[in-house]
Amino acid sequence: MQIDYSQIIIETINTLFSNLFNSLDKNLYSLLDTVVFIDDSIISDVFFNNIFNTKYGLPFITNSMLLGIFIYYCFKLYLSPFSGNYVEKPYQFLTKILIITICINFSQFICKEFLNINYIFTDLLRSLGSEISGSEVSFSTLISKSIYIDFDTEIYNIFSFNGLLKSFFSIGLINLLLSYSVRYILIKVLILLFPFALLSLSTNSTSWLFKSWFRAFFSLIFAQIFITLILTLLFSLNVKSNDLFSQISYICTIFILTKANSYIKELLGGMSTNISTNFFNLKYLFN
């Protein structure tokens, strides 16, 4: 009896991919809503409360550095009649230093309010999207209602067109999970850098650091508003198993979700959460 090795290889590949995608779909994608729709709870834990403590945390460090800048300004102001260099007027400098000091000491509160405002606006859009599409705008709903989630090992064939669509859908969701997890971590890192970004406003030569920080932070938190709009469009599509165009449109919308941060970056600037380019782009954060 002749053994068909090609058929055995195809069945093995199908079984492996089917089991892989099934395990990922069931165990990992529930995290997407957590890492995408961020509120102030991201910085309300013990770690952030301690690190933003004004007695020994980041505000204390930046206040000490601000004091050093103030002392440097005093020397510069004293020597300005002899050096002929332009020095900012004392009342302007003192007013700016006072505002920066207040903001540094309330930096955690300011970041919380930024996140809260963004989350409230996102929640309003999600509610409106639910009214339009008739479904809750969330990744949990996307997973539960998708026709590409359940992989029957006996039916699934990665070498068929339908199998390719299912594979693209799962690979797209894996990319979403990784990309938005990077975004989640970067938001935390930028919040930790916020007191130093405020400190950079104390001198004209370093104020560009704050602008770069704000552009990166705003683009990352604004991405969830864009994601909400895309999810609303996705749930508005009437995907049918016998309609090729609707299926391709559905997969393309998932692809757009994976590129959401890249589109925001092109529009507003900021940081990319693309896995393949993120480490390369880190050195250009302050460009």
Token pair listed for 95? 């007013």
What ranges do the domains of the chain cover? Answer: 15-45+107-284
pLDDT confidence of residue 112: 92
Q: How many H helices and E strands in the chain?
A: 12, 0
d(CA 217, CA 45): 20
pLDDT confidence of residue 3: 60
- Predicted TM-score (pTM) of this structure: 0.80
- Which position has the token pair 């006072």? 98
User: What parts of the chain have a pLDDT lower than 50?
Assistant: 278-287
Q: Phi, psi (5° rounding) for residue 218?
A: -65, -40
Residues 6+ apart with CB under 8 A from 84: none
pLDDT confidence of residue 189: 93
How open is the CA angle 215-217-222, to the nearest 5 degrees?
A: 95
pLDDT confidence of residue 20: 63
d(CA 267, CA 201): 25
Q: What is the DSSP letter of 149?
A: S
Distances (CA, A) of 262 to 104, 254, 271: 30, 14, 8
pLDDT confidence of residue 66: 92
